[in-house]
Chains A and B, each alone.
Chain A
Amino acid sequence: MIKTKRRVLSITNRTEQIAIVVAYLAAIIGLLDSLYLTYVKLDTSTPAFCAPGGGCDVVNSSVYAEFMGIPIALLGAGMYLVLIGLLWLENRGGFWNQYGLMAMLGISLAGVLYSAYLTYIEIAVLHAICPYCVISAITISIFFLVTVFRLVKYQPYDD
């Protein structure tokens, strides 16, 4: 029985480690993507000019690209930073070991829902798709799914 338990633990650990690496990768890609979109949003050095098919330009300059004067992309970058911080803290034990994954679940769920709303705005209102926004929607979805997977597959281990 113990043998079985140990084997299961070992596999689960490896799976979880892979899941954590995937979560880190998704968050880092999402962070870089959001930082690039923030730079594009704040950069005023390029001529203000609309080229045909400039989907990102249309999306990133719309009223939906800001929240109370703050670029949405910057909020996204903040979210990814927090998620990376939580992934790191989770492994340090204590409070974040207990509640870190829960916090990641809540933040990434909010990120997925808001990304879904922004994608709807791109399709239904702006009629323009920004590939960088799509990348962010994908990375936060991956992060959320990995978090759910970790919660479901790797339950607390009590005697």
Chain B
Amino acid sequence: MPGYSMNLCEDLLAKKTKQRGSKNTVNRQSSPVLYLGIGIIAILVVIALIQLGRPASPTATGVNIGVMGEAERGLTDDGLPYLGNRDAPIVIVQYEDFGCHNCKTFAESIEPNLVEQYVLDGSVLLINHPVAFVNQQSRPAAEAAECALKQDKFWEYRHILFQNQGVVPFNRDNLVNFASQAGLDTRTFSSCYDQKLYETLVVDRTLASQRRGVTGTPTFDINGTLYQGVMPIDSTNPERPGFKQIIERIQAGER
């Protein structure tokens, strides 16, 4: 009898525990078919996300750099590429890193307007000063751009670099492929890149920019004053003036 009673108690306790547990688990489904179905659905969803979200790789053959191609181009005494009138009263040195997405933003959405409004009319000389300190893409891209500069295609090559930034890695194969797209002699380019002809130059220029006070990119040295970050052409914010305000100030004789 006591044994029966004990069994009954345990049975009741087990039932109670089961009931409490039932809130969490008793009705839980565990069919292997369901597991398999869920796994397949999850994989299909991820494949769809990857396929739909994958950026189209730019496949340009030949490069149209738009208004940038209309400006006079040349090299400074230090070997830096420039656009515009060498005797322009306003000199903008643009420190940029090919691994920096803000430099891409500036180059693609603001720089063409700057060139159109102030470089083509001879007001501004725009000097490009590549640096390489933002990430691992920076140095190979900067060295490759120097190799492109050697064939007088710096601006075209730079355009392609920014087009592909964050889309494909800047490894040797892609950099050579970009050279082909920019219309460069790929054999000469490959030889230049593989021999690391400009490795030291890129490092020296980066160090020089840091000595100048450049701590990130893009940075603009406008007639000796440094301005950090992407700048608009026009701005109503007095604390962050645009190129228009700074250029007008300089033209009016202010610093």
- A97 touches which one: B7, B27, B41 (CB < 8 A)? B27
Which residues of chain A from 46 to 97 have any CB-CB distance to chain B below 8 Å in the complex?
A: 47-55, 57-58, 61-64, 66-68, 72, 90-91, 93, 97
Interface check B197, CB cutoff 8 A: no
> Taking beta carbons and an 8 Å cutoff, which residues of A are in contact with B?
2-3, 5-6, 9-10, 12-13, 16, 47-55, 57-58, 61-64, 66-68, 72, 90-91, 93, 97-99, 101-102, 105-107, 109-110, 113-114, 117, 124-128, 151, 154-158
Instruction: State in angstroms the CA–CA spacing of A3 and B43 once bound together.
Output: 43
Min CB gap A124→B, angstroms: 6
Q: Is the CB of B50 within 8 A of A50?
A: no
22 inter-chain pairs at a CB distance below 8 angstroms, sorted by A residue, are A2-B7, A3-B10, A13-B20, A16-B24, A47-B228, A48-B105, A48-B106, A48-B230, A49-B228, A50-B102, A52-B134, A53-B135, A64-B55, A67-B53, A93-B23, A117-B50, A125-B167, A126-B135, A155-B30, A156-B25, A156-B26, A156-B28
Tally of B interface residues using CB under 8 Å: 58
Interface check B250, CB cutoff 8 A: no
Which residues does chain A contribute within 8 Å of B101, judged by CB atoms?
50, 57-58, 61-62
Interface check B216, CB cutoff 8 A: yes
Q: Is the CB of B135 within 8 A of A55?
A: yes
Given contacts A97-B27, A157-B25, 17 further A-B contacts (CB under 8 A): A9-B21, A12-B21, A48-B102, A50-B101, A53-B135, A58-B166, A64-B53, A67-B52, A97-B28, A106-B38, A110-B43, A125-B166, A128-B135, A128-B136, A151-B35, A157-B21, A158-B26
Which residues does chain B contribute within 8 Å of A90, judged by CB atoms?
24
Instruction: State in angstroms the CA–CA spacing of A106 and B34 once bound together.
Output: 10
Q: Interface residues of A: mostly helix, strand, loop or mixed?
A: helix
Q: Is the CB of A9 within 8 A of B135?
A: no
Given contacts A48-B230, A106-B42, contact A9 B18 (CB under 8 A): yes
Which residues does chain A contribute within 8 Å of B240, judged by CB atoms?
47
Instruction: State in angstroms the CA–CA spacing of A157 and B38 once bound together.
Output: 22
Q: Which residue of B lies closest to A52 (CB)?
A: B133
Which residues does chain B contribute within 8 Å of A93, judged by CB atoms?
23, 27
- A102 touches which one: B34, B99, B168 (CB < 8 A)? B34
Which residues does chain B contribute within 8 Å of A68, judged by CB atoms?
52-53
Interface check B11, CB cutoff 8 A: yes
Which residues does chain A contribute within 8 Å of B97, judged by CB atoms?
50
Interface check B201, CB cutoff 8 A: no
Q: Is the CB of B38 within 8 A of A109?
A: yes
